[in-house]
Amino acid sequence: MEETKKNIQLLLTRESGVNVSADDFTVQLVSRPDTSDFYYLVILKADTGPLKGFILGPDLLIRQSAAMGKAPDLSKPPRVFELEKNTGAKARLVWMPCEISLSPFYPFWEVSSGEKKVYVDFDNRLFLQAGSKKGG
């Protein structure tokens, strides 16, 4: 992931026209269970003005970008830690268009143990299924 982060840093520097340091952005790998694909969610921090979010494909090309009033908290919510500890489940950051989140800029956690999967959003709400597609 370190090499990927360096390449993203170069891309952000080129796109923004200013020197972007590694501390100026965060990057998370987000899986797409509905397509068996993945993307990188990149949040470029701003000293003033809105944050900027980028969706990068596996090839590190920009697929989407958006000004963001608030960055998503990409840390694991307490319920995810609880499920991992109590059941030995594995968690990963995912997104697919559904009632949990219609925006790839706001992914959620998939927690799986064997064949059983549940989903947890960043407000710590538990969903037994990701549900139907309602946008994207």
pLDDT at residue 48, rounded to an integer = 58
133 is written with which tokens? 């597609």
pLDDT at residue 49, rounded to an integer = 58
pLDDT at residue 136, rounded to an integer = 39
Element (H, E) at 56: strand 51-56
Rg (alpha carbons) of the chain, rounded to whole number: 16
Tens digits of pLDDT across the chain (136 residues): 789 999 999 998 988 888 888 888 999 999 999 898 999 999 988 765 568 899 999 999 999 999 888 777 788 999 999 999 998 999 999 999 999 999 999 999 999 998 899 999 989 999 999 875 544 3
Whole-structure pTM value:
0.86
Residues 6+ apart with CB under 8 A from 74: 26, 28, 41, 43, 93, 107, 122
pLDDT at residue 117, rounded to an integer = 94
Rounded Cα gap, residues 76 and 53, in angstroms: 19
Distance of CA 11 to the CA centre of its chain: 18
